Structure 1
Amino acid sequence: MAYPGGQLSEEKVFKDPVHRYIHVRDKVIWDLIGTKEFQRLRRIKQLGTTYLTFHGAEHSRFNHSLGVYEIIRRIIDDVFVGREHWDHSERLLCLCAALLHDLGHGPFSHSFEKVFHLDHEDFTQAIILGDTEVNAVLKRLGDDFPKKVAEVIAKTYRNKLVVSLISSQIDADRMDYLLRDAYYTGVSYGNFDMERILRVMRPREDQVVIKRSGMHAVEDYIMSRYQMYWQVYFHPVTRSAEVILTKILHRAKHLYEEGYDFQTKPVHFYSLFTGNVNLQDYLKLDEAVILFYFQQWQDEKDEILSDLCRRFVHRHLFKYVEFSPTNEQMKKLMELTLLFKRAGIDPEYYLVVDSSSDLPYDFYRPGEEGERLPIHLLMPNGELRELSRESAIVDAISGKRRTDHKLYFPDDFIYDLSTKRAAKKKIIEILEG
């Protein structure tokens, strides 16, 4: 169905540090960008608390969403057009799903979700299907069009090729965030030859495949992703900030449930604390709102809440030591917990084990649980071969999950234990041992 005023009278462009320019020719895309739900993404950082580690990481979900849209636009307008297996009638569906794929992210994204047991993908679909400006724009393409967009994002849409462009092991989402996050954090780990990968992408009935000649560019992409996770996304200082952020939210929720009289009432949190969050309440939340409360709560009477907020606002983060969940280490953790309690430091908020885990590449193995769609190479004879069967580099890391554990604690509290010297000495001995 034709969109009213389908093409803009003049192409709009966004200047972008990663893709140079982001081109908008379709009126539906321009109108979606202008909705209040999409504009809200300007107030959600792409990398959460990472700006406290890499000071340039101030970019937003808005930046990233435009970038994913631009990659998809280039693939379907420049690479796929006229090729077998590509149905060009799916073009606008792909572009809309790419633009809106992160629409439901909340403030500080994954940390926020863990505390309140939320899923940003559920909210993405709720925004697309609900009484919103986004839904009204999408409906101009047909009453069932919002449902199709939601299905693509939920990975349930009938055309798996469309889904794989936005969600797979080599999709537009990953390609943009690796390049964008590398740029804004100032590291080189995430850089790879996206231009080459786009040139060797080919549509197949159920997924995007890569020409065999592009295998080395894909190897580079996978290793870039691996390095970004361990050098940037799982950086221990960022994780320290996330631990404190999480504990602030837990403490505020606990105080609310105990009937604590907040000086600054957490009105934006009420529905989250009670587990009855609705779409309207959720859309009012952004990082400016959260940081306002953290700023105010520095002056709360509750010492734990005020201390944690001061730490986050002023970047007085927890220190950490390596930790492994062996029997011996778990015994030490139990001993530390008792010592913290004796010293008057609440271990629930000030002694925290944090774990990070990543699987850089995997593929489906018969008889194992879980669906892992592999990256396929298109051989010169037309045959499809799973990537790790051809690449020794990828084979070496396939299916190998790496996990890292850290123990976080406030070293200033420990070294200030002048009146509890025995406990202080023993705590330091365990942490440094």
Structure 2
Amino acid sequence: MKYPEKLLPREKVFRDPVHNYIYVQHQVILDLINTKEFQRLRRVKQLGPASYTFHGAEHSRFTHSLGVYEITRRICDSFVRNYPSKEPGDGLWDDSERLVALCAALLHDIGHGAYSHTFEHIFHTNHEEITQEIITSPKTEVNQVLRKIGKDFPKDVASVINHTYKNPQVVQMISSQCDADRMDYLLRDSYNTGANYGNFDLTRILRVMRPYQGGICFDISGMHAVEDYIISRLQMYMQVYFHPVSRSIEVILSKLLYRAKFLSEKLGNNNILRPHLLMPFFDNDFDIDDYLKLDDGVLNTYFINWLDSDDEILADLADRFINRKPFKSVAYTEETKYLIPELQKLIRDAGYDTDYYTDTNNSFDLPYDAYDPNKKRHATQIELRRKDGSMVELSKVSQLVNAVTGKHLGDERFFFPKEMLSNKEFSKHINNDELR
């Protein structure tokens, strides 16, 4: 469906450290940015507790969302200039899809919660489902803005998020193995963490990206730029996203919230220590209004209050999180995990409750996946277009990508209090050749 596009009298710009300028040309985009739901993203860090490891990683979901919008805008501009549709069904770009693509790009992360992925794991929320609810619920300012475009427009934008939108080109712009979301967070996270691993040639990739009947593909002449992007993503996961210290802080955060939930069941409604804004989540009875009241700052305020708690475990975990006292960790394998119960016993004998002071954590990523008809779910593989118009999948022509295709990379780690390193028996186990 073609929706009316109301352009601003003069385009607005946002200064951005990654993209230089972010250009806003549509009234609906500016209105969405000014909604309270979108402004909340300023108060949710893009990398959560990773700023405890990479001190520059203070950037927010707000800045990332603007970046994804900007890359999507550039893709649309390239497509309409170089591959405009001449007739229905020709597989080229129909620019009447621009507005839904831009809105979906801007709003794709609006459902992320406080300390997003850790919170999601603990309270079993799903940020994509909540994103769709924010877009479609009449209670939100976002929905009210979108409905001004058309009564079905919010539903169309939400369908891009859940991958059911009728045009695969729009879906793959936002969600695929080489999309605007991944391209922005790699560049932005690389810039803010100070790690250069995530840098790749965005300009070249956008230049060789093109629409086709099945979605989005890339000219084979740009294969090395796409290859470099895949390897950059792999390096960022191994060096930044899966960093043991960041994962340690996430473990402490999860244990802290679990302890608070346990204690909250004993607190009356008028108790000053009762975390009122978290209670709907502890009780598993929350709605979208409860969810949108939370951000990183709200949780941090509770954590600071808990520093003075009479409960020693809650106060200690709050101290470890707020004042950056991460757990230590060691990697283990299937062959060495038999040692973990012995390590837990030593920790328990030292006076720690192992339910709160030990954990196992695995972080694995699939750098690239090609289509496998035997799998129930698979990512949209990257297609390269030859000069004769035929398609070839990326790993078939790139030896580098082929080497990591279908391979899960990462490790499993056992986390424990740093103080245990002074325990000679414990250190003997940790320092042997079995655990690393």
Counterpart of 1:189 in 2: which secondary structure?
helix
**1:186 paired to 2:185:** no
**1:337 paired to 2:336:** no
Deviations 1:97-147 (A, max 9, x none): 000000000011111100111110111011001111000000011101000
**What does residue 293 of structure 2 align with?**
284
Output aligned runs, 1:84-163, within 5 Å. 84=85, 85-130=92-137, 131-163=139-171
Question: 1:78, 1:394 → 2: CA distance?
Answer: 26
Deviations 1:244-294 (A, max 9, x none): 011111111122235589652110111100111100000000001000001
**What does residue 418 of structure 1 align with?**
none
Instruction: Check conservation: 1:295, 1:313, Cα contact below 8 A.
Output: yes
Amino acid in structure 1 at the alignment position of 2:425: K
Counterpart of 2:278 in 1: which secondary structure?
helix
Instruction: Check conservation: 1:263, 1:300, Cα contact below 8 A.
Output: no
**What does residue 420 of structure 1 align with?**
none
Deviations 1:152-194 (A, max 9, x none): 0111111111100100000000000000000001111000000
Question: 2:204, 2:409 → 1: CA distance?
Answer: 29
Question: 1:96, 1:211 → 2: CA distance?
Answer: 27
Matching residue within 243, 262, 270 for 2:279 = 270
**What does residue 308 of structure 2 align with?**
299
- Matched positions, count: 422
Deviations 1:23-42 (A, max 9, x none): 00100000000000000000
With over 3 angstroms needed to count, the CA separation of the structure-2 counterparts of 1:304 and 1:332, relative to structure 1, is same
Deviations 1:213-271 (A, max 9, x none): 00000000000000000111011111111110111111111222355896521101111
**What does residue 233 of structure 2 align with?**
225
Counterpart of 2:414 in 1: which secondary structure?
strand
Amino acid in structure 2 at the alignment position of 1:22: I
**What does residue 8 of structure 2 align with?**
8
**1:400 paired to 2:401:** no
Deviations 1:336-378 (A, max 9, x none): 2222222221111112111110100001112233222110000
**What does residue 322 of structure 1 align with?**
331
Amino acid in structure 2 at the alignment position of 1:240: S
Counterpart of 2:368 in 1: which secondary structure?
coil
Q: CA deviation at 1:2?
A: 5.5
Instruction: Check conservation: 1:192, 1:224, Cα contact below 8 A.
Output: yes
Question: 1:2, 1:341 → 2: CA distance?
Answer: 63
Question: 1:188, 1:342 → 2: CA distance?
Answer: 44
Amino acid in structure 2 at the alignment position of 1:341: R
**1:242 paired to 2:241:** no
Question: 2:104, 2:418 → 1: CA distance?
Answer: 46
**What does residue 421 of structure 1 align with?**
none
- Structure 1 portions without partners, runs of 5+: 416-423
Q: Percent identity?
A: 53
Deviations 1:41-90 (A, max 9, x none): 00000000111011100000000000000001011123344524211111
Counterpart of 2:363 in 1: which secondary structure?
strand
**What does residue 41 of structure 1 align with?**
41
Instruction: Check conservation: 1:79, 1:198, Cα contact below 8 A.
Output: no
Instruction: Check conservation: 2:3, 2:96, Cα contact below 8 A.
Output: no
Instruction: Check conservation: 2:238, 2:410, Cα contact below 8 A.
Output: no
Counterpart of 1:69 in 2: which secondary structure?
helix
Instruction: Check conservation: 2:371, 2:380, Cα contact below 8 A.
Output: yes
Amino acid in structure 2 at the alignment position of 1:86: W
**What does residue 363 of structure 2 align with?**
356
Instruction: Check conservation: 2:79, 2:93, Cα contact below 8 A.
Output: no
Question: 1:337, 1:263 → 2: CA distance?
Answer: 35
Instruction: Check conservation: 2:115, 2:296, Cα contact below 8 A.
Output: yes
**What does residue 309 of structure 1 align with?**
318
Question: 1:163, 1:213 → 2: CA distance?
Answer: 24
With over 3 angstroms needed to count, the CA separation of the structure-2 counterparts of 1:2 and 1:171, relative to structure 1, is closer
Tell me which moved more, 261-270 or 123-132.
261-270
Question: 2:420, 2:268 → 1: CA distance?
Answer: 25
Counterpart of 2:277 in 1: which secondary structure?
helix
Question: 1:428, 1:196 → 2: CA distance?
Answer: 51
**What does residue 428 of structure 1 align with?**
427
Output aligned runs, 1:203-218, within 5 Å. 203-218=211-226
Counterpart of 1:11 in 2: which secondary structure?
strand
Question: 1:372, 1:123 → 2: CA distance?
Answer: 22
**1:64 paired to 2:64:** yes
Question: 1:370, 1:178 → 2: CA distance?
Answer: 24
Question: 1:143, 1:236 → 2: CA distance?
Answer: 47
Tell me which moved more, 274-283 or 250-259.
250-259
TM-score, normalization by structure 2: 0.94
Amino acid in structure 2 at the alignment position of 1:83: P
Question: 1:132, 1:92 → 2: CA distance?
Answer: 20
Counterpart of 1:71 in 2: which secondary structure?
helix
Amino acid in structure 2 at the alignment position of 1:356: S
Question: 1:321, 1:162 → 2: CA distance?
Answer: 43
Question: 1:119, 1:52 → 2: CA distance?
Answer: 25
- Structure 2 portions without partners, runs of 5+: 86-91
Q: CA deviation at 1:413?
A: 5.3
